[in-house]
A and B are shown apart, each in its own frame.
Chain A
Amino acid sequence: MPTPTQHKSQNREQDVLLEAKDIRVSFGGHTVLSGVSVGVRAGEIVTLIGPNGAGKTSLVKVMLGLLVPQSGTVNRKPDLSIGYMPQRLQIDASLPMTVRRFLQLGTQPGQGKTLKALEEVHADHIANSPMQSISGGEMQRVMLARALLREPDLLVLDEPVQGVDITGQAELYKLINAIRKDRNIGVLMVSHDLHVVMAQTDHVVCLNQHVCCAGHPQAVSRHPEFVALFGEDVASTLAVYAHQHDHHHDLDGHVVGDGCSDDCQHDDDHKKGHDHG
């Protein structure tokens, strides 16, 4: 008879929508990712954070099948429907396209469905505007609407608040969170903006070519490698709750280090204590 813990972990295995295992990617001899493993479960928001050049977008591309890794595997739940929101989308000025027409590119939904998706992201007022005329925040919402029209099991969002002002950022993250709860879908997100993103995330993966640390946002924000990457100030404002470690860190050794080291392997500890329901 399985212990409760084992039983729970079995369920979690079954819920995994998309999972990368031991991914290694290098471009022209320069290693971008090594030994990286990340998984997203239904109803869970997983956020990838890390400095520029940490390999966040590369990892997302590997998980989406856009980039073939040198080694490692990507497992995808059968018939998984993914709604993808790329980092940047700029339509050539020579291409006339309204928001409404843009939404009909990925799937062929009826007018009613198209408008409903726009309403869901609070952008129905720009349905007939040219794509080149809408603001950065509106563009992100429109892309989110296009992703939602696919009725996704998983949303993959690469820097979803790029080009959006501070108030808009918080709104957008709230919207993503609400959509996740409404539809009970998984969300994999790449982000720079630590402050806002932490509040809306279940599981944070701090990436700097390898997984520095991973777990609940508060725990990660106190992790020495995180502190080393983002600085003491950022870390202290993020660490709302005390980090409950069951093991020790050589703080001095890590903090002054030049980025991540490889001896940070307490990811599992966080997962056990964290119920994704």
Chain B
Amino acid sequence: MDDFLIRAGLAGVAVALVSGPLGVFVVWRRMAYFGGALSHTALLGVALGFLIGVQPGLGVAFVVIAAALMLGVMNGVKGLALDTLLGIVAHAALALGLIVTAMIEGVRIDLMSYLFGDILAVSATDVWWLWAGALVVLAALIKLWNPLLSLTVHADLAHVEGVPVRRVEIAFMVLLAIVVALAMKVVGIVLVTSMLVIPAAAARAYARTPEAMAMFAALIGIWSVGMGLWASYTYDTPAGPSVVVAAAGFFVVSLFKK
């Protein structure tokens, strides 16, 4: 097997491993659009990363975390629904990202690879970063699991029972931002939400407990990465989109589970 394919597989598995278990919370908390909005801000992070001269991944993580925290604060703005605010922040950030990208002199940024992912081009260093990021997020999620689950079920009840609701919510948003930054490498900005939402949704039909649903979501994500890469290698389809289509296939299959 070719080295680039092994690297792509390793990168994809790292992302699937965290986007599944985090994605179930996105589904339970009805935050799919929130994840999408965060990913739109990522391009601004890429551009700023280039501008300041740091790793694009760091720029993305920084901007997405900032956007997540800002949205958390803006949630309290009276008179406008959260999805309206998300639409404003997401598209303003995307537009700003496109402008900054176009204005950077000397560097030509391959816009397509950020928008649609370039998993076949990940380097060995990228793979290390992805796995390090994935394991940190996974460890944090395991630690947060019970309080996060409790406040997902009922925030006030969790609060009375001693869960530091606000802090756990912020931690969750930060984790979500990191996963967006990680997944961007694999499926690109446009398709990041799919890695969070589709495997988690497909896992619902098979799970009887929250924990099982998270594990199934991770497994379905990993299979999707495998199938997508295989299709890409065999039929020369674009890799990132193939992964997403494979996940959607699993979702359709799950609909027939009674």
Residues of A within 8 A of B (CB): 61, 64-66, 82, 84, 86, 89, 91-92, 94-98, 101-102, 105-108, 130, 146, 150, 156
In contact, B28 and A61 (Cβ under 8 angstroms):
no
Nearest first, the 6 closest Cβ-Cβ pairs linking A and B are: A84-B160, A106-B161, A105-B150, A95-B28, A96-B207, A94-B27
Contacts A95-B210, A150-B161; is A86 near B156 (CB within 8 Å)? yes
Number of A-B contacts (CB under 8 A): 63
In contact, B161 and A96 (Cβ under 8 angstroms):
no
**Does B153 make an interface contact (CB < 8 A)?**
yes
Among B30, B153, B212, which residue has its beta carbon within 8 angstroms of that of A91?
Answer: B153
Select from chain A the residue with minimum beta-carbon distance to B154: A89
Contacts A105-B146, A106-B150; is A96 near B210 (CB within 8 Å)? yes
Chain B positions within 8 Å of A150 at CB level: 161
Interface string of B34-52 (1 = CB under 8 A from A): 0000000000000000000
Contacts A61-B156, A66-B156, A105-B150; is A94 near B28 (CB within 8 Å)? yes
In contact, B157 and A89 (Cβ under 8 angstroms):
yes
Among B28, B29, B160, B212, which residue has its beta carbon within 8 angstroms of that of A66?
Answer: B160
Extra A-B contacts (16), CB below 8 Å, given A66-B159, A101-B209: A65-B159, A65-B160, A89-B157, A92-B29, A94-B201, A94-B204, A95-B153, A96-B207, A96-B208, A96-B210, A96-B212, A96-B213, A105-B149, A105-B150, A106-B158, A150-B161
In the bound assembly, the distance between CA atoms of A8 and B28 in angstroms comes to 52
Chain A positions within 8 Å of B232 at CB level: none
Contacts A66-B156, A66-B159, A84-B160; is A98 near B209 (CB within 8 Å)? yes
In the bound assembly, the distance between CA atoms of A191 and B158 in angstroms comes to 22
Chain A positions within 8 Å of B210 at CB level: 95-97, 101
In contact, A86 and B30 (Cβ under 8 angstroms):
no
In contact, A102 and B201 (Cβ under 8 angstroms):
no
Select from chain A the residue with minimum beta-carbon distance to B28: A95
**Does B152 make an interface contact (CB < 8 A)?**
yes
In contact, A92 and B160 (Cβ under 8 angstroms):
no
- Interface size range of chain B in the complex: 20 to 34
Select from chain B the residue with minimum beta-carbon distance to A94: B27
Select from chain A the residue with minimum beta-carbon distance to B159: A66
26 contacts between A and B (CB under 8 A): A64-B156, A64-B159, A65-B160, A66-B156, A66-B159, A82-B160, A84-B157, A84-B161, A86-B156, A89-B154, A89-B157, A92-B28, A92-B30, A94-B28, A94-B201, A95-B28, A96-B204, A96-B208, A101-B209, A105-B146, A105-B149, A105-B153, A106-B157, A106-B158, A146-B157, A150-B161
In the bound assembly, the distance between CA atoms of A98 and B208 in angstroms comes to 7
Select from chain A the residue with minimum beta-carbon distance to B201: A94
Chain B positions within 8 Å of A96 at CB level: 204, 207-210, 212-213
Name the distance in Å between A64's Cβ and chain B's nearest Cβ: 5
Chain B positions within 8 Å of A146 at CB level: 157
In the bound assembly, the distance between CA atoms of A180 and B208 in angstroms comes to 34
In contact, A89 and B160 (Cβ under 8 angstroms):
no
Q: Among B29, B201, B207, B209, find the residue whose CB has the most chain A CB atoms closer than 10 A.
A: B209
Chain B positions within 8 Å of A89 at CB level: 153-154, 157
Select from chain B the residue with minimum beta-carbon distance to A156: B160
In the bound assembly, the distance between CA atoms of A156 and B30 in angstroms comes to 29
In the bound assembly, the distance between CA atoms of A229 and B223 in angstroms comes to 63
Select from chain A the residue with minimum beta-carbon distance to B150: A105
Select from chain B the residue with minimum beta-carbon distance to A88: B154
In the bound assembly, the distance between CA atoms of A82 and B157 in angstroms comes to 10
Name the distance in Å between A27's Cβ and chain B's nearest Cβ: 11
Select from chain B the residue with minimum beta-carbon distance to A64: B160
Name the distance in Å between B44's Cβ and chain A's nearest Cβ: 31
Select from chain B the residue with minimum beta-carbon distance to A91: B153
Interface string of B153-192 (1 = CB under 8 A from A): 1101111110000000000000000000000000000000
Select from chain A the residue with minimum beta-carbon distance to B30: A92
Chain B positions within 8 Å of A105 at CB level: 146, 149-150, 153, 158
Select from chain A the residue with minimum beta-carbon distance to B149: A105
Name the distance in Å between A202's Cβ and chain B's nearest Cβ: 23
Chain A positions within 8 Å of B27 at CB level: 94
> Which residues of chain B from 76 to 108 have a CB within 8 Å of any chain A CB?
none
Name the distance in Å between A198's Cβ and chain B's nearest Cβ: 27
Contacts A101-B209, A105-B146; is A95 near B152 (CB within 8 Å)? yes
